[in-house]
Every structure is written in structure tokens, then in C-alpha cells.
Amino acid sequence: MIRTEKILFKYESTSRPVLRDISLKIEEGEYVTIMGANGCGKTTLIRHFNGLLSPWSGSVNVDGLSTSEPGALSEIRQRVGMVFQNPDSQIVGMSVEEDVAFGPGNIGLPPHEILERVHNALERVGIGGLLKRNPHTLSSGEKQLLAIAGALAMRPRYLVLDEPTAYLDPSMTRQVLDVVRRLHNEEGITVIHVTHDMDEIVGSQRVVVMNEGRIILDDSPTRVFNRVDILRPLGLGIPKVTELMRHLRRMGTDVRPDILTIDEACEEILSLLDSQKKIAKPSAGCGSLFPDRPVE
């Protein structure tokens, strides 16, 4: 697991601590979303997970290895892969292949293993056909997939993503999120996903909400989004689908208010219509409600 114990951190340029008394455990295999307004300390916290930053006090351990031990940092950084908000900040190679090979090459792997890792990582994120392209000719979404591939080439146990869709259009946002969720669901990689977009929490098992350097909520998505009284003052909302279902409930429609996904919403509405004998319940999900147009 990744475990922090009462960490305190401040930048030398600031007078107030950025992180205050942060204690957190992230188990291997979890999908954890960290949320909060700008400046709450999200990015500072995750940079502690692989030793890019060190706490002023307290401790950070990854699978029992302390980030305060210089000799453990190389192993920790192989276990904890980082993907930053701006993929350009991670591009170091003159080709896609060379960029993904950079990390494995740095730890002295033999050429045949480096090549195997490069091809494997690129195929897993869906850009295997871009092997020889110059990274700077890629779209923003392709660059972000390249950054994820670069992290995967190190065979991490934990994948940490800092607002990975911030610069992407809706289509590429879906593609990147689909890759991340598949890595978690099918390969069991632990995902720690920093975002301010409420609609990106689908797939998370836990949501951690931060404010002014502290953790103020740490629970399942359903329970966190029931705390609108805490989220609203922080400038945080709830997923659009959840907001819609709550609006329908306020209008007198007997639907669940804790729904987080479009598919769940469609099933709930179909079930309601079926119970009212207005239609026989179809089995085709959202496509049954809108047979003549694709589901977005």
C-alpha cells in the first residue's frame, strides 16, 4: 500500500503549510479519486507518493519503502508511475518509441526487454501504430496516452494521474478515461486519479476530498456526493447524472438519488416505467430509450 502518516509540508516561498496532518492509506488494487478546489494541495500530496517531494514532518511509505531513504527512491519510482497534467512536460524522446524507452533504459534493462516493454505499453493504451512518430506532432490526447505508456513501461503497481484530461476535448477525454479504467478493471493496477471534474469519478471506489491542505472527506462516491452541504461551499458539485436524478426526485419521481452513471440512470427510468405499466421493460439499456440516435 501507499501510506502517509501525519505529513506536513510547506514550500519555502509560502508562509502557510500546503499539507497539514495528512494520514492516508491506499491499498493495492484500489481506484481512488482525489478532489478539491485549486490550491487545496492535491498535486502536492501526490508528488509525495513517489518521492518527488518530501514531507517536513511525518512519513510516506510505498509497500514498506520509505521515501525518506535515498536508496529506496529508485524502486519506489518504478512502483509508482506518475502522469502529469501537461504531457509535454514528460516528453523526452525524439520518437514515440524512444520516449517510452527512456524509463526502462534508465534502469539498465537489456535492449530486448526495453523493446518488449515499449511495444507492450503502447499497445495497452491503443497507440501502437504511432511507434515512429515525433511526439511533438501528436494531438494532446495522443500525448497523454504516450505519457501513460511511458509510465506503464516501468511496470508500476500504482498509476498516479494529475488531472490527465485537463487539456483534452470530450472525445479524447473519454478515450483516456477508458484506458485508465481498463488498466484498473482488467489488469488490477492501482489508480490514484486527481481531478476537479465530478463526472470523472465513475469507476472510483473511493473519493478523497481535500480543502486547505487537509482531508475532509474520504468515503465511497455515493456517500461523498450525499454531502452536498460540504461540497458546495468548496465550489464542488456532483455528477450531472446525479444532479438530474435528484431533480427528478424533487419533482416527485420515485427514482434513486445516488445514481452516478448514464447506464444506471437509464436502467432506473426503464424500471420505473415498467413498474407503472407504461412499457414493458426492455433489456437494451439506454439504446431502448433512444433507438434512433447513438448514446453519448
- List of domains in the chain: 2-234 (3.40.50.300), 240-289 (no CATH)
In 3D space, the residue among 77, 27, 59 whose CA is nearest the CA of residue 192 turns out to be: 27
Report residue 151's pLDDT band, with 50, 70 and 90 as the boundaries: very high
DSSP state of 282: P
In 3D space, the residue among 32, 33, 34, 70 whose CA is nearest the CA of residue 51 turns out to be: 70
Task: Report yes or no: 173 and 232 within 8 Å, Cβ to Cβ.
Answer: no
DSSP letters along 238-270, please? --HHHHHHHHHHHTT----TT--SHHHHHHHHH
pLDDT above 90 covers what percent of the chain?
67
Instruction: Characterize 8-36 residue by residue with b for buried, 16 or more Cβ atoms within 10 angstroms of its Cβ, and e for exposed.
Output: ebbeeeeeebbbbebebebeeebbbbbbb
Q: What is the pLDDT of residues 249-294, one digit of tens each?
A: 888 888 887 777 788 888 878 887 777 765 444 555 555 554 554 5
Task: Report yes or no: 281 and 271 within 8 Å, Cβ to Cβ.
Answer: yes
Q: At what angle do helices 240-250 and 262-275 cross, to 10 degrees?
A: 30
Going from the C-alpha of 278 to that of each of 255, 269, 274, the distances in angstroms are: 16, 11, 6
Task: Report yes or no: 153 and 97 within 8 Å, Cβ to Cβ.
Answer: no
At residue 278, the pLDDT reads 52
